[in-house]
Structures are given as C-alpha cells and as structure tokens.
C-alpha cells in the first residue's frame, strides 16, 4: 500500500471511530423505571409505571419489561392467554424480583370474576389454576375484582366484597404459602368510592385498585387518603381517560406522560398499571417514570379534556344507570365500546358484550332516550350506545 493510501485509510478509520463514539454519547438511553414506591404496609415496592397484561402478546414482552425495571405484573384468568404467557416466561424470571397479581376469576371471556355465592373451594381452585398456568408457587396479590360491576345494589356488592367464603379461602391460601396479600379493584360503574372505602376500613385488604384519572372522581381522593392513613396501598388503573388521542399535535407520548404524571403526583398512589401491547409501549410509557408534573403537562391535559369531554364516558360515573326503560347496562356497554374503539381490544370487547344480559340492542330504535338527559356531561348517550351495538354485536 502506498503511503498516501495508508494515510487516507487511517484517516477514514479514525473518522468512523469518532462518529461512532459521538453517536454513542448522543444516543438516548433506553427508557427505564426511575422510581419505585411502597405498596402500603406490605413491605413491597413497585415500579411507578407497571405492566397491565390484559393484552399480553408474548413471553418476550415480560422479559423486556423486567429488563426495563418493571417489577409489577397485573393479570387475570379472564385476560385471554395472559396467565399462560407469563408462565412461559417464568423459567427465566427470578421469582422474588417480581410482583405477580391475579384475580379470583375463571378463565372465561371477561368478566369471569367469581360471583356472590361462590364457595371457599371455588376461590381456592381459581387460585390454584392460576398458579398452574403461570408456573409459579405463589401470587403476591389476589384480587376480588371489579367491585361495583356485577350489581348496582350497594349491599349486594358489599356482600361479595366481604364474603366469608372468600375470606376463609384467602386465609387458607395464605397459610399454605400460595398467596401473600389481598386486594380489590373497581372501575364502577356503581358505588366505586363507597365500596372501596368499605374495603379500606374493613381491615381485610392490603391494596385497592381504583379507576383514577384527571377527568373525574371527586370523591376518590378521600378514599385514597384513608387508605394511606391505614397503610393500604393504592394502585391506579384507567389512567388515560379513554386513551382517545395518544398523539396530540404529533408530539408522540406527551399526553400519556402528562396523564401518568398527574396520577403519580398524588402521594397516596403506590403506582399505576397500564396495558402494554408492544415493546414500543414499554419504551414510550417509561419515559414518564419518576418525572414531575408540570404546568406544561396540565396544558396538555386541558387540551385533551377540551377535545374529548363530549365523547368520553367517565369510567366509574354511572349517573345515568337505572333510568333506561329497557334496563340497558349503559356504563358497561360504553366501557366495552371504549375497549373496542380506543384500546384496540376488539375481540375481548365483543366477547364481553355478547355476555351482557341487557345490551344496547333496543337503543337504535329508542324513542325515550332518558339517558341523554341524565348524563351530567351531556354525552350523546343513545348514539354512542347504538354505535356500540353496531360494532360489537355478532348479529348486527
């Protein structure tokens, strides 16, 4: 090689190394959990933004989440193949490094939660089946799920919440080392705050999981403060207020980050769970971990509210329930519609809608839309219900 060629090659090599070094220095670090919070008095701490496994696609998602610092995984028997998929990942997981939560449910299409009247053996069998599917010896939390959904009657749901058969089953499972702590969750539509306050004051529950976001829930802070005082953890769900516009102004995840930071600014909140369907979701959502809520975030939420307050059925509201002459389960129908249109969970939404006893089949021809006058937010309820029936009904 001639001297000038050698020098040219050397210069090019040096330049390449320099560019690579500069790229390495300027490339953004992969998103990771920046904050962990105590879950009440359990002695456990969770990643502030944690993994909702309702749409779990592959075991590799679990492993990627753990690599990113996520340590809390929320699943249920009626979340499709979610528990089995977690089980596929268990061989590569250090069990004491993760927190796994499931529900007292059967593996039916949602909602499969055990009803009032279930026996102690039913609760025990449900947990043992979950353990088998997930290939683990114990659950960190087991939840009485979706309080306020099965019945509009407060006393009936209190009985399900504090059922002796369930409490005796939990005690037996805990003694056997198969579960550690007891929780309950609610996204309404009926009596969410009252039922969660009952759980907090009962002394039986270690954690509550309410629907909580910036769009409603004026009574919930009181429940959360009581929980905090009593050492009961608070884990938020439904934090994206319908997730109707995740890319406002083309700026990527600014809305989800603002919504998460709003929830996490409340000191009573142990963390939040959010459905993560892809590796990009993990990368996007974790950018909000450990970050402070700012005036800019509030402006983002204000824009979202201005855009969608007229078409978002507030999870946990239920003020229009009970007025429909046909008995349509309005809030539940519209929640399933949200799963279909906004969460990209079409199959789950259609299966769940198909199980409703009082769906929206009568709504398109209804000439007594009392629901419209009863909605405190002025939503076009009948039109939304008619749309729900059209998109989710197998016979439509």
Q: Which residue has the higher pLDDT, 53 or 367?
A: 53
Return d(Cα 233, Cα 224) in angstroms, integer.
9
219-256 per-position pLDDT tens digit: 899 999 999 999 999 999 999 987 765 555 555 569 99
- The pTM score is 0.83
Closest CA to 179 of 134, 223, 149: 134
128-185 per-position pLDDT tens digit: 999 999 999 999 999 999 998 877 788 999 999 999 999 999 999 999 999 999 999 9
Q: Where are the alpha helices (DSSP H) in 265-362?
A: 279-285, 295-308, 330-341, 346-355
Q: Give one DSSP letter per residue of 131-158, joined into a string.
A: HHHHT-S-EEEEEE--TTTS-S-HHHHH
CA distances from residue 382 to 137, 358, 368 in whole angstroms, order as listed: 48, 14, 10
Return d(Cα 88, Cα 115) in angstroms, integer.
29
Q: Which residue has the higher pLDDT, 220 or 3?
A: 220
Return d(Cα 109, Cα 82) in angstroms, integer.
12
Domains of the chain (ranges; CATH) run 36-303 (3.20.20.100), 330-392 (no CATH)
Closest CA to 322 of 150, 187, 173, 152: 152
């Amino acid at each position: 090689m001639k001297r000038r060629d050698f020098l040219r090659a050397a210069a090019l090599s040096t330049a390449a190394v320099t560019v690579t070094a500069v790229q390495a220095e300027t490339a953004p670090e992969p998103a990771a959990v920046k904050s962990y919070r105590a879950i009440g008095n359990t002695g456990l701490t969770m990643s502030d933004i944690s993994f909702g496994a309702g749409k779990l696609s592959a075991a590799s998602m679990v492993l990627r989440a753990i690599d990113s610092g996520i340590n809390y995984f929320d699943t249920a028997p009626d979340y499709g193949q979610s528990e089995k998929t977690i089980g596929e990942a268990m061989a590569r997981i250090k069990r004491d490094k993760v927190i796994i939560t499931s529900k007292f449910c059967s593996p039916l299409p949602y909602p499969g939660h055990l009803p009032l009247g279930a026996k102690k053996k039913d609760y025990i069998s449900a947990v043992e089946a979950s353990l088998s599917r997930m290939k683990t010896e114990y659950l960190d939390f087991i939840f009485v799920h979706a309080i306020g959904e099965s019945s509009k009657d407060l006393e009936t749901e209190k009985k399900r919440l504090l059922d002796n058969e369930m409490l005796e089953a939990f005690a037996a499972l805990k003694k056997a080392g198969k579960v550690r702590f007891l929780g309950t969750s609610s996204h309404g539509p009926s009596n969410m705050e009252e039922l969660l306050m009952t759980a907090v004051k009962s002394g039986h529950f270690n954690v509550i999981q309410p629907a909580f976001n910036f769009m409603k829930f004026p009574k919930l802070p009181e429940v959360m403060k009581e929980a905090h005082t009593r050492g009961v953890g608070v884990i938020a769900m439904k934090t994206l207020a319908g997730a109707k516009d995740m890319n406002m102004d083309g700026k990527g995840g600014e809305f989800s980050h603002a919504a998460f930071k709003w929830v996490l600014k409340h000191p009573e909140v142990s963390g939040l769970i959010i459905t993560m369907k892809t590796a990009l979701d993990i990368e996007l959502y974790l950018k909000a971990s450990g970050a402070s809520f700012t005036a800019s975030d509030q402006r983002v939420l204000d824009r979202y509210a201005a855009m969608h307050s007229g078409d978002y059925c507030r999870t946990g509201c239920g003020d229009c329930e009970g007025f429909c002459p046909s008995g349509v389960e309005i809030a539940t129908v519209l929640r399933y519609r949200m799963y279909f249109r906004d969460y990209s969970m079409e199959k789950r939404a259609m299966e769940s809608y198909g199980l409703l006893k009082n769906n929206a089949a009568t709504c398109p021809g209804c000439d007594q839309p009392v629901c419209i006058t009863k909605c405190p937010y002025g939503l076009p309820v009948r039109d939304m219900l008619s749309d729900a029936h059209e998109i989710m009904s197998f016979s439509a």
